[in-house]
Structure 1
Amino acid sequence: MAQPVWDHPEPLTVESAPVPEYGSGSLAELLPTLAAGMGVPNQNATLTDLTPADRNCVFLIDGLGWEQLKAHPEEAPFMSSLLGSSRGGTGRPITAAYPATTATSLATVGTGLPPGVHGLPGYTVRNPATGELMNQLRWNPWTPPNVWQPHPTVFQLADAAGVHTAQVSSPTFQNTPLTKVALSGGTFHGRLSGEDRMDLAAEQLAAGDRSLVYTYYSEVDGKGHRFGVDSDPWRGQLMYVDRLVQRLAEQLPSRTALYVTADHGMIDIPFGEPHRIDFDEDWELRAGVALLGGEGRARHVYAVPGAASDVLTCWREVLGEQFWVASRDEAIAAGWFGPPDGIEERVYARIGDVVAAARDDVLLIASQREPKESSMLGNHGSMTPAEQLVPLLEVRS
């Protein structure tokens, strides 16, 4: 039986979870605000502190949370300078969506919609049509992308409105289903090196009187997962990506706004007990569970028919001092996946019968089912500030 890591006076309540700031300060509002400023129809400028620009670039750094950036000014001098107004812009945090994970966040950024609408509410979720777990990052098992996520991206809407639209990223991502449902629209340009991406992003910005360009870098996240936040390899990647941001900023054509952001932050979880609870070795947590989805700090739990209430009770008893544990309906009503009245019917059953989000420095691994994920030092997914807050840095030319 799993034992609590810390002794809190009361179990965590669903209402106490720090829900993402959907509608006012989350990743879902970024691209619609920029598109509205360029005259794209039916887009809302919700982030009212962003001044419209004719050309806009979003540089998304995978895994670089607000708290991690703030803690490393020496490794990221250029981005740290953007936390104030010394270069004509201001930096502040916004929230990712829940869960704070790449597939969910990229879909949230690209569509301008919360997870309860775009339908990618986790790392792995149940496909109601097949009963299988679907990995939405790797798109395995394959399912038709436009059926799984039918909404147009902001890039597609901008392209249709005559805005020059482009994505500049690794060639590996050009034809992936996740790119198709989250980031497609306009033209995709694959470049292997970060320097080539920055140079080409600047060229694409200059290619139109109105331009919307997206570029991406992944290895801050990769080094964090493997070696941990604040490790030497992670610091090295932060130093490198800081130079990339400066390289792009110094090439911006006139009338351009560059926004640097991220999909989630990260937290290191020590190995072994009591910080890692192994679902595959805990009979209480397994009882009544048909499928375990999500990831270690943001779990979707799918019960066998008729067992959802018992599973919820058990998970609250075992984990309730360390995790926010909610039923599907409770999590939806609390706004975890977006405005409660906006959850689409096709998305409803993808969400777990029970949803568990970590508050403490603890991870719910599955050593046999998920050996790779269970071995990672750096993790993310939940609603803590280290995971949920991401930077929104601005440079204008």
Structure 2
Amino acid sequence: MLPTPTDNGARLAAILPSGLAAVARGLGSDPDELLDLAFASSAGAVSAGAAPSAGAPAALPGLRSFVVVVADGLGQANLKARAGHARTLSSLPQKRIETVAPSTTGAALTTLTTGRLPGEHGLIGYRIMHPELGLVTTLKDWGGIRRPREWQRAEPLFALAERAGARAVAFGRPAHASGGLTEAILRGAEYVGGQRIEDRFADASRILRGPDPVFAYLYVDELDRAAHEHGWESETWLRRLEQLDAALEGFLRGLPGDVGVVVTADHGIVDVGATQQIMMDARPELLDRVAEIGGEPRLRSLYLRPGTDARAVAAAWEEAEGARAWVGTREDAIASGWFGPVHPEVAPRLGEVLVAARRQVAYYVGSDDPKSLDMVGQHGGFTSEERGIPLLLAGALAGTGFASAVASIARTRVPGALPAP
């Protein structure tokens, strides 16, 4: 049985719409109109009780420019444990929010930039089932996808910045300037590449001090990369955290007074050693009705042979791994609201049975890329450490009711939002 969710990432989905509305208010546009446009139905979207007519919260401040800084892999628990090495980050007003399920980069970043939960935007995991190509990864396997806008089904929000009177800009590494995922989640934003963390903040600072109001997304993936290779408890990860903190401190010091900043993440990280790896194919009797295994090591998606009883397979896995993993059927996970409203085209992208690590373990099969066996830092599952992420406020947003506005917009606007705790 999968754990009962209290939040399915709706507050993560509400951050950019809230920022758009704040810029609209600050520039004299109608924030309600921007929110209506941000949550207008995507093609084929499923309705789940969102309230498009709800007004912008009174607590929403007015801004000239807005920046969201996304620190990939900086979970709330990770930040709290290393607060002494991140004095700038730790000093900011903050809330703990929860990311989407699965707690993986493709699903979470798409939710952040589209305002839609995974069941609607469609990138509902790391390695998921494509109807023509079979198992593909949402981060890199875009070459054979003939209709990318049907694969990632929701429209990114950057095109709406012009309606608010702002210039949309995304800052990231040059390697991410193009590609399937970049097009899917950053479409509508001008891309500015900076190799180092400091370069990205310097570019953002320069543009924010220019003549145009700006609606910006700044992506830092160095902590996630360090965690995967060395673990988040490593000195390498700690140096990257200190690098981010120093770059942010300099950025905030030179920030114009009418610019609001949010710092958040896509997921947290847990470290899993080599002795904690579990080879799923060591128990062939558990796989005799399984056709394919997708997902990632902390959340495996089992695609079953035609005619197989998913509940019987889930029961067998529960008996074998229930002490180390949550096990449930796809139908149960969808019914619980984990992924928001799930479109009929999206549901088959998940396996019929989900195996989510609840202890500090990772599930592998012999056919996995050998490099993945070397990963230390992991995520994807449903634990508090993986799903808890920070919502930090800085610049013109510090001391405002922006976090409350995000919660209100999540509750009243995001399709399929669960009541936030």
Identify the TM-score tier after normalising by the shorter chain: 0.7 to 0.9
Aligned counterpart in structure 1 of residue 247 of structure 2, from 244, 249, 252: 244
**Equivalent residues in 2 for 1:98-247 (5 A)?**
98-130=101-133, 132-140=134-142, 142-143=144-145, 144-207=147-210, 210-247=213-250
**Shift in Å at residue 46 of structure 1?**
8.1
Native 8 Å contact 1:57 1:205 kept in 2: no
Query: Which residue number corresponds to residue 293 of structure 2?
Result: 292
The answer on whether the counterparts of 1:164 and 1:208 sit within 8 Å (CA) in structure 2 is no
Question: Deviation string for 1:242-286 (max 9, x for gaps)?
Answer: 1111122122223111111111110011222xx321023221332
- Structure 1's 34 and 151: CA in aligned 2 closer, same or farther, altered over 3 A? same
Counterpart position of 1:324 = 326
1:118-167 residue CA offsets vs partner (Å, 9 max, x unmatched): 0001010011234x101101125631321211321111222355321100
1:1-397 aligned at under 5 Å gives the runs: 13-14=1-2, 16-23=3-10, 26-37=11-22, 38=24, 39=31, 40-42=34-36, 43=38, 51-82=61-92, 90-130=93-133, 132-140=134-142, 142-143=144-145, 144-207=147-210, 210-272=213-275, 275-309=276-310, 310-338=312-340, 342-397=341-396
Alpha-carbon distance in structure 2 between the residues aligned to 1:129 and 1:103? 20
Judge conservation of contact 1:366–1:374 (CA < 8 Å) in 2: no
Q: Normalization by structure 2: what TM-score?
A: 0.83
Higher relative helix content? 2
Cα distance change of structure 1 residues 304 and 363 upon mapping to structure 2, 3 Å threshold: same
SS at match of 1:394: strand
SS of aligned partner of 1:246: helix
Deviation of 1:361 (Å): 1.4
Gaps of 5+ in 2: 25-30, 40-54, 397-421
Matched letter for residue 32 of structure 1:
P
After superposition, the Cα gap between the structure-2 partners of 1:46 and 1:290, relative to the gap in structure 1 and judged at 3 Å, is farther
- 1:189-240 Cα deviation digits (max 9, x unpaired): 1121222211111223344553211111111111111111221111111111
Which segments of 5 or more consecutive residues in structure 1 lack a partner in the other structure?
Answer: 1-12, 83-89
Q: What is the CA–CA distance in structure 1 between the aligned matches of 2:144 and 2:385, rounded to whole Å?
A: 32
Q: Secondary structure at the match of 1:346?
A: coil
Question: For residues 306 and 49 of structure 1, what CA distance do their matches in structure 2 show?
Answer: 53
Q: Tell me, in whole angstroms, the C-alpha distance in 2 between the residues paired with 1:210 and 1:351.
A: 41
Partners of 2:142 and 2:281 in 1: CA distance: 22
- Of stretches 294-303 and 39-48 in structure 1, the one that deviates more from structure 2 is 39-48
Counterpart of 2:48? none
Q: TM-score, normalised by structure 1?
A: 0.88
State the 1:381 CA deviation: 0.8
Displacement of 1:344 after TM fit?
1.2
The alpha-carbon distance between structure 1 residues 204 and 285, as it changes in their structure 2 partners (threshold 3 A), is farther
Judging changes above 3 Å, is the alpha-carbon distance between structure 1 residues 68 and 123 closer, same or farther for their aligned structure 2 residues? Answer: same
Residues 309-350 of structure 1 deviation map (CA, whole Å, 9 limit, x = unaligned): 232222222122322211111100011111xxx211211111
CA distance in 2, matches of 1:22, 1:215: 20
In 2, Cα distance between equivalents of 1:298 and 1:359: 10
Tell me the equivalent position of 1:10.
Answer: none
Whether the aligned pair in 2 keeps the contact of 1:300 and 1:355 (CA below 8 Å) is yes
**How far apart in 1 are the matches of 2:139 and 2:365?**
18
Distance 1:357 1:258, change over 3 A: same
Q: Partners in 2 of 1:69 and 1:56 — Cα distance?
A: 23
CA positional deviation for 1:367: 3.7
Number of aligned residue pairs: 369
One-letter amino acid of the counterpart of residue 361, structure 1: Q
**Percent sequence identity over aligned pairs:** 33
What is the identity, as a one-letter code, of the residue corresponding to 1:139?
D
- Amino acid across the alignment from 1:27: L
The residue type equivalent to 2:194 in the other structure is: R
**Residue identity in the other structure for 1:385:** S
Q: CA RMSD in A?
A: 2.0
User: Aligned with 2:349: secondary structure?
Assistant: coil
2-structure distance, mates of 1:364, 1:95: 23
- Cα distance change on mapping 1:163 and 1:134 into 2, 3 Å: same
The CA distance in 1 between the partners of 2:81 and 2:57, in whole Å, is 26
